[in-house]
Structure 1
Amino acid sequence: MAVALPMAAAAAAVVEHTFVVSQVGMTHLCQETLVTVVNGQLPGPAIEVTEGDWVAVHVINKSPYNMTIHWHGVKQRLNCWADGVPMITQCPVRPNHSFTYRFNVSRQEATLWWHAHVSCLLGCVHGAFIIRPRHGASSYPFPKPHREVPLVIGEWWQTDLGQIDKSLTNSFFGFNPSSATINGKLGDLNNCSGGLVEEGYVLEVEAGKNYLLRLINAALISEYYFKIAGHKFTVVAADANYVKPYTTDVIAIAPGETVDALLVADAAPERSNYMVALANQPSITNPPFPVTVTRGTLRYLNDGDDPAAAGDDAPPPLGPEMPGLHDMMPSFYFHGNLTSLRLAHPRGRTVPAHVDERLLVTLSMGSVCRNGGESCARGGSIDHSSVVVNGTGEQPQQLYTPLPERPPRPFNFTDRAFIPIGPTEAEAQLEPTRKATTGQRFLYGAAVEVVFQNTAVMQSDYNPMHLHGHDMFVVAQGHGDFDAARDVPARYNLVDPPVRNTVLVPSLGWAAVRFVADNPGVWYLHCHYEFHVAVGMATVFVTEDGPTVGSALPPPPADLPKCGGGHGSSLDAMENDLL
């Protein structure tokens, strides 16, 4: 339960939660699975705060796994120590130990989320993080909703997710969820040999009322298309940044992203309507990947009557027409149609017109071979480097190799000939990947542009790239290879680009972002496709201290978890080495 404790010297409050992380048995699809969860819930408890509040979350780890919690999208101004990245900014909370995260939430509103940041456990250890305006719902830059509804799109895995991570050392192929979920429910499209139909999520609405849907993609591996039959959405925010209202009948939401959308209950109230979340697949594989889908129901209430009163006389629910399974254009257009509300809202910021640092970063698959090439592990990479983070709990990572400004080996990045994995000459030359911990250092206040270039090397995936500690202006996206001479003047939006903490890099395409490095600390940058980051698609950005006390990173708190059993190890050395 959350307890709001007023602060004596300020109008803000301290919102306090206790998270007990443990394993429980959950039965779906006729099978009991051991699942790591918070407070026995899937999804975990929602944290609801008012802008400006302080948050204290007491994490009690009763699971068998090392644990950290990341507050996805929370800026953690001058407080990277609460960011929850194991072996980067903290040592994990070991089994049968506890730790309290303390941080402030300021100059942010709308929907974020929290999740585990160890192995694949974010797939079951996650929940909503809702930030409301300090002056109440009347200050929303859109009509005040009748009700606000968190909708967490996730996946159901019929295996312990902590065990899956151990198998990713050699390959991430062959792992697929059994179903998608909406707020933890698998829906009636799923059944098992016993004939038991899974329960679906039901959203009850009143005709004519306005609802704010707070969508979160907590899945490990897929972007989802979300639709409700007979209804349209007005998108008003993404990643806790307001956007110009955008009307659509389909929402595309990638792993790590959040979308706030208004829904008016304006369909015929005599019948229910299905809501469907379908995982899209960027390419057709042989054999094909299983289709991951779930559906729930939007049900109209009739003047407060029991919704079940209609019984068998009620017409069957209306189903939505979903985009094609392999059609990525709805996603491309959805993300491309979002623009910032910065000119109409006081929290708006100006995109940097002048850039101090530029990076072109390629995102690929590759292999790292050991024992003279006899043993090779395939994984993700940034500029042909798979990040190495010591996850054993012995010592935090302290050193890194500078990230090159441009790819060390330029080629036609999106040539489809590189996609097939096998002994083809073209792909074989590009597959080798070195193991290194890479990073990039920025002066305080530097304006940075990063172009993320997806490649076709052993994959055709999109990549949702999440930058901790910052928001990014998504100034452009495109298909094919990025060409500065062509794309910068033609495609760049420097007036009202959307502001995101997670940018979806299109399949066989690119995305350009700008941000200001004004938050001193060590910040993780990684793909939120969990299997990609688990095998190396990650790096760190380091922002140096500014010239004043208010722009310099304080030392880590004394109670930060210790590594290696706590015998004198701390993150002080890491702060000195990285900053």
Structure 2
Amino acid sequence: MTMTHLCKKTVVTVVNGQLPGPTIEVTEGDSVIVHVVNTSPHNITIHWHGVRQLQNGWNDGVPMVTQCPIQPNQNFTYRFNVAGQVGTLWWHAHVSCLRGTLHGAIVIRPRDGTNSYPFPKPDREVPVVIGDWWSIDLAEVDRKMQDNFFDYFPSGSTLNGKLGDLFNCSGVHEDSFMLDVEPGKTYLLRIINAGLFSEYFFKVASHRFTVVGSDANYVTPFTTDLIVIAPGETVDALLVADARPGKYYMVALPNQAPLPDTQTPEPATRGIDRLGNAGNAGKPAAVLPVMPNQHDVVQSLYFHSNLSALQHPRHRVPQVPKRVDEHMFVTLGLGTACRHGGFKCNWDVESETGLVATMNNISFMVPTAPLLPEHYRHVGSQLSTLVELPDKPPKVFNFTDVSLIPVGPKEKKLETTYKATLARWFRYGSAVEIVFQSTAMLQGDSNPMHLHGHDMFVLAQGAGNFDEARDVAKYNLVNPPRKNTVVVPNLGWVAVRFVADNPGVWYMHCHYEFHLAMGMTAVFIVEDGPTANTSLPPPPVGFPTCSNNEYLVPREVSLQTPQHTVSRLMD
């Protein structure tokens, strides 16, 4: 459909004529059926972000990893169960940059009703979707990102699809998101960052929040006037309308790494919280909140460090695995690779190399046939086999040395890398610990890392380089928060554990769209367990197939490690 903002008409891809798309409201334990009819000109898949998809990787919605895309004028029905999760998740397209307009909330309420919330029952629940607006074709943005041309940036930020009165067309302000509240009432804000580019600071003037959940998991309530939320994350927060009647701005401000990092346009947006009879009192000036400096990225570390799992007799949480079967140290950064894969290119010719994003200095190459049905037999990459994500990076250096951010001789010695279809196998039931380390390689960004099919225990996080001798002592093994998206701080680290108890092929990737497009991705393959209840069942009827006929759905799939086909990166 065509939408007009900032004096410009833009063709966008949306669901049912809505931006954001429709909210899916369910009760914990429900089965969900979603019919997707693709009348757009694009190949489409829908990912149900944060839904665990137990034994159901076929419905995870990752193109060329778990399924062939739904082609134009075709349809597919997704079916999944929502079990053991309560709170806010969301859905979005997982093809190119289309999730910028193809997204919506998933609200999961307790099975025994909202009276069982482990916090005061709200008078109203309100999804607040933070996003960004692009006045250009999002499919073209994706092509440019993959070609490393970063001359495209969002034209504005949005709250529930509204740009707000910071933006105008010939002096006429854009519409603002309006939230009408009554004095003394409590509102549960279900906040989602659906943006492609930025982590956001979120405030409501003269109000404070009580954070009660994140990523569909309850957290120990804490009070704050500032919420920091990265792409992919959700935060549930109570807001009590306890200010005097009036108008109060709610502001979403993107943050970004300070110099010497590259500075890009990062537009804020704002909506209005109308309390009491403020909507009928003429045009009184709305109160503005005092926002952090855009470069005060340590606020993200403070906010996320405050999260811990709620200990409640009615809401039991899994215990942190004390025994660890697999230890990994994964660095996140940028590098340079031959554009067409492999190692043979003229490294001094810009047209033959490109900027890529990496995990342990390898950049993900998208396969040409889905990995889940074929598993490993046909990945279609020029390497012809999967490359195993190594336990550690190939070189140890001062990962957070800011002198590595600008292009120059120092980083040149470290930036050479290559593309491969990167994977890691885990035996069913393995306890896995990963330390993610952000690096200063050509950038100093944070990295919101999202794992499909699992929740992660966030044990600890910190600034600078991870030091095992010092930092393991900081691990919270009692009540760490469980997240599907963890924020690796700017030039910092985060330690997580998860249990590989969901057989299938699962995406692990950064939720910044430019990092995803550039290859900060791996697939985690969890093998079948010993029983039918711990194994991946056959694919559903009507599963999408690729038009080139390279891919045929097998009747059965066995997720057993094919040791003879794994290309292992040697030290």
Coarse TM-score class (shorter-chain normalised): over 0.9
The runs of 5 or more residues in structure 1 that have no matched partner are 1-23
Q: Deviations over 1:253-298 (max 9, x none)?
A: 00000000000000001x1100000000112368742231000000
Q: How does 1:79-478 map to 2 (within 5 A)?
A: 79-192=56-169, 194-269=170-245, 271-284=246-259, 288-302=263-277, 308-312=279-283, 315-370=284-339, 371-373=345-347, 374=349, 375-390=352-367, 398=379, 399-420=385-406, 422=407, 424-478=408-462
Aligned length: 545
Give the C-alpha shift of residue 372 in structure 1: 2.1
1:250 deviates by 0.3
| Residue identity in the other structure for 1:561 | P
Closer/same/farther in 2, CA of residues 406 and 392 from structure 1, 3 Å limit: closer
Distance 2:330 2:288 in 1: 41
Contact 2:439 2:491 in 1 (8 A): yes
Partner of 2:471: 487
Residue 501 (structure 2) pairs with residue 530 (structure 1): no
Are 2:482 and 1:508 equivalent residues in the alignment? Answer: no
Aligned partner of residue 426 in structure 1, secondary structure = helix
Q: Secondary structure at the match of 1:36?
A: coil
Instruction: Percent identity, please.
Output: 57
* Structure 2 counterpart of 1:496: 479
Shift of 1:347: 3.3
Note the alpha carbon deviations across 1:479-506, whole angstroms, 9 max, x for none: 11111111101x2111111110000000
Shift of 1:571: 5.9
Q: CA distance change for structure 1 residues 521 and 208 in 2, over 3 Å: closer, same or farther? A: same
Instruction: Provide closer, same or farther for how the CA distance between residues 383 and 467 of structure 1 changes in structure 2, counting only shifts above 3 A.
Output: same
CA distance in 1, matches of 2:172, 2:424: 52
Q: Alpha-carbon deviation of 1:241?
A: 0.3
Q: Sort the Cα spacing of 1:225 and 1:236 in 2 relative to 1 into closer, same or farther, 3 A.
A: same
**Secondary structure class of the residue paired with 1:45:** coil
Residue of 14, 22, 35 corresponding to 1:45: 22
Residue number in structure 2 paired with 1:16: none
Report the CA distance between 1:170 and its aligned residue: 2.1
Letter of the structure 1 residue corresponding to residue 280 of structure 2: A
Question: Partner amino acid for 1:372?
Answer: N
Q: Please state if 1:564 is matched with 2:547.
A: yes
Query: Shift in Å at residue 340 of structure 1?
Result: 0.4
- Return the TM-score normalized by structure 2: 0.92
CA RMSD of aligned residues (A): 1.8
What are the superposed Cα offsets for residues 208-238 of structure 1, whole Å, 9 maximum, x if unpaired? 0000000000000100000000000000000
The alpha-carbon distance between structure 1 residues 209 and 343, as it changes in their structure 2 partners (threshold 3 A), is closer
The SS at the match of 2:287 is coil
Alpha-carbon spacing, 1:426–1:575, altered in 2? closer, same or farther (3 Å): farther
Give 1:99 deviation, angstroms.
Answer: 0.3
Amino acid of the residue matched to residue 480 of structure 1?
G
User: Over residues 310-342 of structure 1, what are the superposed CA-to-partner deviations in whole Å (9 max), with x where a residue is unaligned?
Assistant: 114xx3111000001100121110000111014
Tell which deviates more after alignment, 136-145 or 337-346: 337-346
* Separation of aligned partners in 2, 1:492 and 1:461: 24
SS in 1 for 2:436: strand
Partner of 1:4: none
Please say if residues 203 and 298 of structure 1, whose CA atoms lie closer than 8 Å, have aligned partners that are also in contact: yes
Would the alpha carbon gap of residues 120 and 65 (structure 1) be closer, same or farther in structure 2, given more than 3 Å must change? Answer: same
CA contact (8 A) 1:66 1:93 kept: yes
